[in-house]
Amino acid sequence: MSDSEVPVADDTAGPERIDDAEEEANSIRERATDAERKRESRAAAEALNDALGALGGDRMSVVANNLFIGEPQVGTVIGRDNHSGGPDVGFMRSGLVSPSRLDELEKTFVPPPKFEQICERLESHPVSLLRAPEGWGRTATALRALSRQCSAGVNKLSPEVELRSLSIEFSERTGYLLETPEIDQLRSLSEFHLEQLGKRLLEHECRLVVIVDEQVELGSAVHPFVVDCGEPVDVEALVREHLRRHLAEEELGILEYAEVSVLLDLVAHDRLPTRELTELAAQLVEVVKGQADIDDVIARYSAYADSRFRQWFDELDADARPFAIALAVFNKMPLHIVSAAARTLASLIFDAEVDNEDIASVRSVFGVRSVEVLGMVRAQSYRSHEDTVYGRIPVDAVRFEDERVPQRLLEYVWQEYPAAHEVVRDWLRGLGGADDLRVSTRAGVAVGLLSTFEFEHARRLVIEPWADSGRHHEEYAAIGALQFPSLRPELTPLVARMLAAWSRPGQPLARRVTATAALGSTIGQLMPQRAILLLRQAARSSEPDVRDAVCYSMKQLFSIRDMTGTVLRELRRWTASQHRSLRGTGFLCVLQLSFDLSVDTAEGVYPWPVLVWLADESSEHRDDVIVLLARLMQAPYFLPAAYDEIRRWVYLAERDSGLCVPLGRLLVDLEKADQDSGVVPDYLREWADERNGPVAAVDELLKMFESKRMN
């Protein structure tokens, strides 16, 4: 069919169907420009993008339609311990630190950015609470600062030492280090105790550093004694410094190798202590000298990281473990959402583990403080915002310190704890029906990740029940659940066949709607031709919900830069069709593209309607946009909606004068496509006569029409 055709005939419309067709067209116009539908559509797309980003991180990227997740050549690094696993590695737990170890530290120590400030503080204050996260390098930094200040050496105190007792026996000009004392002892410290302790230290010309975990809350009275450590030492700088001791300058190029950069990035997340980084540098020296293979080094650290991860998760207690799993699903979301999900999961775990009905299910409301559980799961809170129906509000959100944790943690639970499958699956299925769209979408994406281990099982037990429910949030959960499987080469064909089967006319309506809406997600980007074909078939439906789903998917695909032209050309095909439903769905899509999507431009004060922006003279899509809008303005039953949308553009141009020129060029061309009927200028004058009408914009636009006639 030629693109020049602008169909006016209807393949099914006769006199007896005119009223029904008009009523349907009115309904379509209302749905196309419904603000609530627009808000939900945008919220659904944003929720899916956020969920994929939070669970997949920045390691998800599409290259030539092949999507790769993660970095399979190197394992995930999670551990945050200050000490290595070997019994003979690292500094002694308590007692005198040997001069040889301090000398070794002096030779290998690379100072963090705020090291000199820490030393100056230690010189002027006898007691300092050094606050930094585990793995920051705080032990090495404290020992190096103390050894510079105290000529008689450094002594590590036993963690059982009671600071409040003031009964510690100090040796002259000696530095003392107390690592991570009990939380209760830290909470009981007061300014008075620390001042008294400082006086005793000064009497002996001693200094004391107490290392405090970042998550521990301290009373305001002791804040003057707290030292903020700032950023840790740069891992590459530290390794480079050690390599310089053993390699020529030209041999330092090993640090530029891609695999070495990946390895250094991983150990930076792991925050290995200085001694272990020194050992890594020694192994890289062996690689340069031909005495070791870089793949072996990477494998060694990957295995070590995996071991630390397993140990970290397995040692979490009954409160921290559900919280860690909930945070993996809801990473970077408000604390109240993560906590509520964690409590639900904890209850399900308790019910699954306790068979004796006589055992009372008692859980303390004030059992674990949030700062403590965040410390245990290697997470942090931060100030964020939450969008509500009444505006944006500030909230406390939580996230893992390492963005690699969420996916790794869920995969680990699924691979290592089969007894937890049913509990976690039921928990996620329930969350898929949550009132909060963000929660249901996150639950769906998590189910999708886990389904890559057992897709058929997840499909039957969770994904299809969501798809068949007819509830919007469960529909979006099902769409989220199909993202990760569609990215796995072995599952992509299966997902494609499944969506094709779901789309058939004989399937339940809710399932067809879900399948149609899913085609606009990552799935459609990976198989665009098949997605467009399935959407074309769905667009022939007379069901409003299916047509809305078609428009949703076409809009998502349109927003992908490489698919904008494909979608516009497909809509030209639809709007030229003799099939009334297909043609009507095409017009509905055009209206929604214009009403829903806008573009920030350098020339505009406000975002511009995307179709006006694409109709710019330099745009490769200009002809497509003009043809589609011209057809919309001439289509029976859609003409009022078309001019309502143009009216909205004109009112926007009244507030943003930069929009007048591109809008005027577009309207002149649309008038020309209508054989210079004069309809557009008449509408402009009518709108200018409205109360508080767009007088200035209309004057400017009419001048452009007059200039066109004179030329």
Domain boundary among 172, 204, 228: 228
Q: How far, CA to CA in Å, does 64 sit from each of 391, 467, 484, 526? A: 40, 30, 18, 9
For residue 626, tell me if it sits in a domain.
yes
At 218, the pLDDT band (50, 70, 90 cuts) reads: confident
Residues 289 and 286: their CA atoms lie apart, in Å, by: 5
pLDDT one-digit tens code per residue, 314-358: 888 888 999 999 999 999 999 999 999 999 999 999 888 876 555
Within-domain flag for 53: no
Range ranked top by mean pLDDT from 34-38, 181-185, 589-593: 589-593
Residue ending a domain, choose from 182, 202, 228 = 228
Inside any domain, residue 693: yes
Read off the CATH number of the domain in which 150 is found.
3.40.50.300
- Judge if 115 and 219 occupy the same domain: yes
Give a yes or no: residue 528 inside a domain.
Answer: no
* Average confidence score pLDDT of the chain: 83
In a domain, 655, yes or no: yes
Q: How confident is the model at residue 60, as a pLDDT?
A: 40
Higher pLDDT: 659 or 33? It is 659
* Predicted TM-score of the model (pTM): 0.70
Q: Report d(CA 122, CA 208) in Å as an integer.
A: 8
Domains identified in the chain, total number: 3
Question: Quick check: is 532 in a domain?
Answer: no
Structure tokens, 107:
């030779």
The pLDDT score that the predictor gives to residue 568 is 97
Whether 680 is in a domain gets the answer yes
Neighbours of 106 (CB within 10 A): 12
Residues 611 and 709 in one domain: yes
Query: For every residue of 31-96, which 3-state class applies, written as one string?
Result: HHCCHHHHHHHHHHHHHHHHHHHHHHHHHCEEECCEEECCCCCCCCCCCCCCCCCCCCCCCCCCEE
Residue burial 210-232, b: 16+ Cβ < 10 Å; e: rest: bbbbbbbebeeebeebebebeeb
Expressed as residue numbers, the domain containing 170 is 109-228
Helix pair 695-710, 639-655: axis angle to 10 deg: 110
pLDDT tier, 366 (very low <50, low <70, confident <90, very high otherwise): low
C-beta of residue 41 within 8 angstroms of C-beta of residue 34: no
319 within domain boundaries: yes
Q: Among 228, 252, 287, where does a domain finish?
A: 228
> Could you read off the pLDDT of 482-507 as tens digits, one per residue?
999 998 888 988 999 999 999 998 99
Provide the pLDDT confidence category of residue 16 given band limits of 50, 70 and 90: very low
**533 Cβ contact partners less than 8 Å away, ≥ 6 residues apart:** none
Same domain, 318 and 211: no
Q: Residue 351 belongs to a domain with what CATH number? A: 1.10.10
Residue 294 to residue 691: CA distance in whole angstroms: 75
Q: Could you give the 3-state DSSP secondary structure of residue 399?
A: strand
pLDDT at 448: 95
